[in-house]
Amino acid sequence: MGTRFARRCFLAVPALLGLLLAGCATGRLDATKPVGQEARDIDFLMRLSGWMAVGVGIFVAAAVFAIIVKFRAKPTDDPDDLPPQVHGNRKAELTWTIIPTALLVFLTIFTLPTVFDLARVNAAEDARTIRVEGQQWWWQFSYDLNKDGRYDIVTANDLVIPTGEKVNLEIESNDVIHSFWIPQLNGKKDAVPGRVHDWTIRSDEPGIFYGECAEFCGLSHANMQMRTIVLTPDDFERWVEEQLEGKAAAQAAPAEGSAEAAGAALFETHCISCHVVDGPYESAAGGNANLLAGIAPNLTNLMSRTAFAGALYETYQIGPDGEYLRNPDGSLKLNLAELREWVRNAPDMKPARADNQQGMLDFSEVLTDQDLDNLMAYLQTLGSEPVLPATNAGAG
Amino acid sequence: MAIVTDRPDSADSPDGSGPGTELEVAEPDSHGDDSPRTGVFARPTHATGWREWLFTVDHKKIGIMYGALALFWFLIGGLEIGLVRLQLWAPDGEVISADFYNQLFTMHGVTMVFLVIMPLANAFANYLVPLQIGARDVAFPRMNALGLWIFFFGGIFLNLSWFLGGGADGGWFAYAPNTGMTFSPGHGMDFYALGLQIAGIASLLGAINLLVTIINMRCPGMSLLRMPVFTWMILVVQFLLVFALPVITVALILLTFDRTFDANFFNVDAGADPLLWQHLFWIFGHPEVYILILPAFGVVSETLPVFSRKPLFGYPIVVLSGAAIGFMGWGVWAHHMFTSGMGPVSVAAFSATTMFIAVPTGVKILNWIATMWAGKVRFTVPMMFSVSLVAMFTIGGLSGVMHAIAPADTQQTDTYFIVAHFHYVLVGGALMGMFAGMYYWWPKAFGYHLNDRLGRWHFWLMLLGFNVTFGPMHIVGLQGMARRHSVYGEFDGFEFWNKIATIGYFLMLIAMVILAVNIFRTWGRYRRGLEPGAGADPWDGRTLEWAIPSPVPEHNFDYVPVVSDVDDFWHKKYQPDETGKLRRIAYGNDIAQIGDQHPHLPSPSYWPIVLAMGMPLIGFGLIYNLWIAGIGLLLLVGSMFGWTLEPATDPDAGHGHGHDGYGDHDDDHGGGNHDDSPDGQDDGNGVLTASTANGEAAGD
């Protein structure tokens, strides 16, 4: 009986594995699909240790299984007849102390160099350093292009980097502890208030790689997402230019009497105590002095970001297969409905405690429909549409 | 001097509370003198009903109450996480709000760690340690009761937050500064800090008590290396508690001062470094992991030999590896902080220490397997739970080695891979071990077996549900699902395995319902006389608790046992014949003590529960109004005085002069080489009990 049962169990294994694979539909945060050197080094260690663990696990499971099948007391046994009374075996015990130790030494030898490699930033003179700031509940990325100590591009939710480059990150927090994590590009690094943590990311291919805050940071922790948009060096240069252009364009006041102008006025009344647009509303930056953008995202070039509200919502509409939808003229289809609803009543779309300066206020009692239309018109003037990676135009 | 009480057989003590007639029968005894020092107030003398339980100092009743409370909180903690599982059933779940979700997972963790697994281990430790070392009670019986009641009020206090504005919402790890007033303005974190503080006092009292008990009160002949492994593991755990709890106490005091008195320990703007909290929390928190798991290791180290009918393979190695885990557990705390930014040298060091703590753990597992190997394994319900611990804990241990590799951990930490890992350790390990212990010692504590068929249903559903719940979390964790996220997106690809996990939760829920049915149904049948008594030694046991009647009489042992070997009781049943083969020479039920002595026992007292009541009042006072704290403090100090003025043993309560060898009389029948000098119980205000003296013979 025992052997037939055993055979059945072994037949069940491939069936189970099949089921497992079926469930492994790749998500967009999959740590086991690395695209950069750092993430690949980590992946190697995970696979090495994982397979060793599976090996040891099968050994133990087989032993337990053998005990269940082979050493089960039989009803026919004389209840007073004892099995051989073995109290121990010095040699055996020594063996199974030494073997695990050896396996662990082996793993340690592979581990330690990687620990130090991951801690090493790109020391090249032309290395790019981007400041990453976590705050409840969104990420801000600041670029100092000419290394003059002033940030030239300040953006939110979308971290844009070129391919093939080991990009340095200076990770900070403006309130509580967060953790920066783009699974396919590198492991996590905590953003701790009062500290600056060096970290790097690198991607070999263009694409959109998703990430999120991984350290519990309060009410809307689940909604503190981000994405890394990896562009070819040429595309990246284009993105930089467009950002600077957008910044310049934002200085110009909209034509008088237009909806945009009405929106700009509303923006000045209701938004600038928290939000900033470089140029006209820069000086309004209040709240936390560490922030260029005040306590809410800097909205210069808002339209060039693929997502808003902590990357919870798409700025542009996505089709059923995750592809970007386009207007007849080839431009991206704005997700106006959700953007408008977000401005009207943000706490309804993302948990927040605005009364405690945590998250955006509810404006549904403040802004009329006309106000919202005007605001939408103004916001659409902020920046041009995003530069999307050539090989991965989708978000799914 | 012959006082006759009934032997505790099934008909007389249906509730499993032992004979319960000790004091009642003893009362008319003329032994008491005319100037009793009974303290300020009259002492409780209730020998039956609920008051007997409220004021008891009997380690067995206290142990049972710990167990009952733990199971109650297990229900609460389990239902809390049920809502979380429902929320995660589908992407963008809308079952509960993000705020409530955060409270639920925080309180689930706090409840399961501090109010379920720790007290469950305490239940077994309280009940069994004195029995396994041949003592009449713990060293400080009233302090034992105090620990229980402080734990009782601490748990209630912590959970009252649900009705007073919401539970704690900062995670069980409560990382600063998210738990400060600025970011968590509700009272949830106050209840967390003060509730854990109160529960911590209870654990500390219990730890000191058990340490003194194990070190001083072992019966003659029981050297340290003859101690049952369960008692050994409890000893290691108490050392861990004594050193780890002060650290969390300090951390919680800092947090309370920050929140209540505007201190700046974790205020970054005032120059604080939030990593201070992380270090403090995990210096406590990692030994805490071993505090949770080692008692379960102790339980299976008892059950595996009994049901394999072989001695434990490599007893000294199993003991030493347990102690080694206890020591090494202090050098690995920062592996919870690999991504916190503490620098590559620290990361490398803690990575290496963490890996090598797997060695003693692995040795234990292989020794258990060798114990079962070539045995005649009886797959009773406790054995099935024990074997599942060996297998399931192994999985948790192996994934633990995976994130000892710091770079791998930067991907795995704060994902469901970690959730899977520690649930395999704490459910597959600790809880399976506790269930094994429940089924194993139930007949000892209550005099009858839990129903076997329901027990098997419980086991199989539990094992299945557990794996269906937590197995998929390995996969979904590697796919990048972060912990403590109240929602996930539809493009994340997490839905399938989350659905499976939620189904698994309900399987476990059904398993727990079956356990509850088993407990109540079997109890009812026993009361109606439908369940047979278990007898003193139902499993052919190896340790001293099986050498006395079931349920255990109030005084535990009629006379002090004397041991000369590991598993001494077993050797009284089996001896080698002329060919050297072991033969049964006696049956446990025949050679067990009969429980007919009536020695002087520590008397019940009002003070432990009254003193404990002061604790939550102080807690409320710190949150709402310091005047309430004043009342609590008065109650606390007042009962301390009352306590001090009250002798441990009521001189009014008589006692029989049994031939018990415990030193409260001059007839040394027990055969121990203990001295007969007057012991703790005679000096009136001492806290030591009648059974102290025998410990002196127990040195190595």
Residue with token string 């297969």: A321
What is the average pLDDT across B202-226?
96
pLDDT at res. B660: 61
CATH class entry, domain B300-531:
mainly alpha
**Contact pairs from chain A to chain B, CB under 8 Å:** 300
Taking CB atoms and an 8 Å limit, are B347 and A358 in contact across chains?
Answer: no
Same fold, B61-272 and B300-531: yes
Of residues B598 and B487, more confidence is placed in B487
User: ipTM of this predicted complex?
Assistant: 0.91
- Whether residue B344 is predicted with pLDDT greater than 90 in this model: the reply is yes
Name the residue among B373, B370, B336, B372 with its Cα closest to residue B353: B336
What is the average pLDDT across B238-267?
96
The answer to whether B667 touches B676, Cβ cutoff 8 Å, is: no
Which positions ≥6 away from A35 have C-beta within 8 Å? A184, A185, A203, A204, A205, A207, A209
The answer to whether B413 touches B342, Cβ cutoff 8 Å, is: no
- Whether residue A23 is predicted with pLDDT greater than 70 in this model: the reply is no
Q: Which of A176, A179, A183 sits opposite B339 (nearest CB)?
A: A179
What is the average pLDDT across B670-682?
38
- Whether residue A44 is predicted with pLDDT greater than 50 in this model: the reply is yes
Alpha carbon distance B107, B289 (integer Å): 17
Confidence of residue B282 (pLDDT cuts 50, 70, 90): very high
- Whether residue B657 is predicted with pLDDT greater than 70 in this model: the reply is no
What residues of A are in contact with residue B488 (Cβ under 8 Å)? 222
Taking CB atoms and an 8 Å limit, are A179 and B394 in contact across chains?
Answer: no
Three-state SS annotation for B96-128: CCHHHHHHHHHHHHHHHHHHHHHHHHHHHHHHH
- Whether residue A293 is predicted with pLDDT greater than 80 in this model: the reply is no
For testing the chain B interface, which of A21, A182, A188, A220 should be mutated: the one with the most B CBs within 10 Å? A188
Confidence of residue B654 (pLDDT cuts 50, 70, 90): low
Alpha carbon distance A265, A327 (integer Å): 29
Taking CB atoms and an 8 Å limit, are A192 and B341 in contact across chains?
Answer: yes
Of residues B700 and B643, more confidence is placed in B643
pLDDT at res. B650: 72
Residue with token string 């058990």: B210
Taking CB atoms and an 8 Å limit, are B373 and A57 in contact across chains?
Answer: no
Distance of CA A206 to the CA centre of its chain: 16
Taking CB atoms and an 8 Å limit, are A189 and B339 in contact across chains?
Answer: yes
What is the average pLDDT across B391-413?
95
Residues linked to residue A332 through DSSP beta bridges, in sequence order: A326
Burial class of residue B257 (count of CB atoms within 10 Å of its CB; 0-12, 13-18, 19+): middle
Find, in chain A, the residue whose alpha carbon is nearest to that of B275.
A192
Alpha carbon distance B142, B152 (integer Å): 15
Backbone φ and ψ of B263, nearest 5°:
-75, 175
Confidence of residue B647 (pLDDT cuts 50, 70, 90): confident
pLDDT at res. B51: 83
What is the average pLDDT across B290-319?
96
Taking CB atoms and an 8 Å limit, are B358 and A221 in contact across chains?
Answer: no
Question: How far apart are the CA of B647 and the nearest CA of chain A, in angstroms?
Answer: 47
pLDDT at res. B74: 97
pLDDT at res. B678: 39
pLDDT at res. A390: 79
What is the average pLDDT across A298-317?
94
pLDDT at res. A386: 95
Alpha carbon distance A10, A18 (integer Å): 14
Taking CB atoms and an 8 Å limit, are B313 and A100 in contact across chains?
Answer: no
What residues of A are in contact with residue B407 (Cβ under 8 Å)? 41-42, 45, 111, 114-115, 118, 187
pLDDT at res. A357: 81
User: Which helix (DSSP H) or strand (DSSP E) does residue A134 occupy?
Assistant: strand A129-135
Taking CB atoms and an 8 Å limit, are A87 and B275 in contact across chains?
Answer: no
pLDDT in tens, B34-56: 444 455 567 777 667 788 899 99
Q: Which of B177, B376, B582 sits opposite A193 (nearest CB)?
A: B177
Alpha helices in chain A (DSSP H): 2-23, 37-70, 90-118, 233-249, 259-270, 336-344, 369-379
pLDDT at res. B31: 43
pLDDT at res. A274: 84
Taking CB atoms and an 8 Å limit, are A193 and B475 in contact across chains?
Answer: no
User: Which helix (DSSP H) or strand (DSSP E) does residue B582 occupy?
Assistant: strand B582-584
pLDDT at res. B672: 38
The answer to whether B309 touches B334, Cβ cutoff 8 Å, is: no
What residues of A are in contact with residue B379 (Cβ under 8 Å)? 68, 72-73
The answer to whether B192 touches B176, Cβ cutoff 8 Å, is: no
Name the residue among B314, B79, B121, B198 with its Cα closest to residue B629: B198
User: What average pLDDT is seen over chain B?
Assistant: 88
Which range has the worst mean pLDDT, A107-121, B10-24, B45-59, B534-548?
A: B10-24
Alpha carbon distance B213, B179 (integer Å): 39
Confidence of residue B143 (pLDDT cuts 50, 70, 90): very high
pLDDT at res. B659: 53
- Whether residue B25 is predicted with pLDDT greater than 50 in this model: the reply is no
For chain A, give the number of residues: 396
Which range has the worst mean pLDDT, B8-12, B509-513, B644-648?
A: B8-12
Question: How far apart are the CA of A263 and the nearest CA of chain B, in angstroms?
Answer: 32
pLDDT in tens, B66-94: 999 999 999 999 999 999 999 999 999 99
Alpha carbon distance B104, B98 (integer Å): 10
Taking CB atoms and an 8 Å limit, are A223 and B372 in contact across chains?
Answer: no
Burial class of residue B693 (count of CB atoms within 10 Å of its CB; 0-12, 13-18, 19+): buried
Which range has the worst mean pLDDT, A197-211, A319-333, B1-15, B339-353?
A: B1-15
What is the average pLDDT across B370-398?
96
Three-state SS annotation for B191-243: HHHHHHHHHHHHHHHHHHHHHHHHHHCCCCCCCHHHCCHHHHHHHHHHHHHHH
For testing the chain A interface, which of B268, B337, B415 should be mutated: the one with the most A CBs within 10 Å? B268
What residues of A are in contact with residue B483 (Cβ under 8 Å)? 216
Which positions ≥6 away from A90 have C-beta within 8 Å? none
List the structure tokens of B401. Answer: 């080695």
Report for B460-474, B642-656, B674-688: range of highest mean pLDDT: B460-474
**pTM as predicted:** 0.89
pLDDT at res. B613: 95
Q: Which of A26, A49, A351 sits opposite B401 (nearest CB)?
A: A49
Taking CB atoms and an 8 Å limit, are B412 and A24 in contact across chains?
Answer: no
Residue with token string 């562009």: A231
Taking CB atoms and an 8 Å limit, are A73 and B482 in contact across chains?
Answer: no
At residue B500, the 3 state secondary structure works out as: helix
Confidence of residue B372 (pLDDT cuts 50, 70, 90): very high
What residues of A are in contact with residue B275 (Cβ under 8 Å)? 192, 195
Confidence of residue B656 (pLDDT cuts 50, 70, 90): very low
Name the residue among B528, B529, B547 with its Cα closest to residue B537: B547
Report for A79-83, A257-261, A288-292: range of highest mean pLDDT: A257-261
Find, in chain B, the residue whose alpha carbon is nearest to that of A63.
B369
What residues of A are in contact with residue B410 (Cβ under 8 Å)? 42, 118, 186-189
Taking CB atoms and an 8 Å limit, are A42 and B394 in contact across chains?
Answer: no
pLDDT in tens, A229-285: 999 999 999 999 999 999 888 888 888 899 999 999 999 888 888 888 876 665 444
List the structure tokens of B346. Answer: 């620290």
Taking CB atoms and an 8 Å limit, are A322 and B415 in contact across chains?
Answer: no
Please report, for chain B, the start and end positions of each structural domain, with discontinuous segments joined by +.
61-272, 300-531, 544-591
Taking CB atoms and an 8 Å limit, are B341 and A83 in contact across chains?
Answer: no
Confidence of residue A60 (pLDDT cuts 50, 70, 90): very high
- Whether residue B15 is predicted with pLDDT greater than 80 in this model: the reply is no
What is the average pLDDT across B416-432?
97
Confidence of residue A347 (pLDDT cuts 50, 70, 90): very high
CA torsion through residues A145, A149, A155, A157, sign: positive
User: What average pLDDT is seen over chain A?
Assistant: 88
Residues linked to residue B48 through DSSP beta bridges, in sequence order: none
Range B61-272 has CATH code 1.20.210.10: yes
Question: How far apart are the CA of A140 and the nearest CA of chain B, in angstroms?
Answer: 19
Alpha carbon distance B650, B601 (integer Å): 9
- Whether residue A177 is predicted with pLDDT greater than 80 in this model: the reply is yes
Alpha carbon distance B170, A294 (integer Å): 26
What residues of A are in contact with residue B317 (Cβ under 8 Å)? 88, 93
At residue A210, the 3 state secondary structure works out as: strand
For testing the chain B interface, which of A192, A220, A288, A357 should be mutated: the one with the most B CBs within 10 Å? A192
pLDDT at res. A389: 92
pLDDT at res. B547: 95
The answer to whether A314 touches A342, Cβ cutoff 8 Å, is: no
What are the DSSP E strand ranges found in A138-284? 138-143, 153-156, 158-162, 167-173, 178-180, 189-191, 197-201, 207-212, 225-231
Can you spell out the DSSP letters for A328-347? TTSPBPB-HHHHHHHHHBGG
pLDDT in tens, A204-236: 999 999 999 999 999 999 999 999 999 999 999
Backbone φ and ψ of A230, nearest 5°:
-100, 120
Confidence of residue A356 (pLDDT cuts 50, 70, 90): confident
Alpha carbon distance B447, B526 (integer Å): 9
At residue A296, the 3 state secondary structure works out as: coil
- Whether residue B373 is predicted with pLDDT greater than 80 in this model: the reply is yes
Taking CB atoms and an 8 Å limit, are A23 and B475 in contact across chains?
Answer: yes
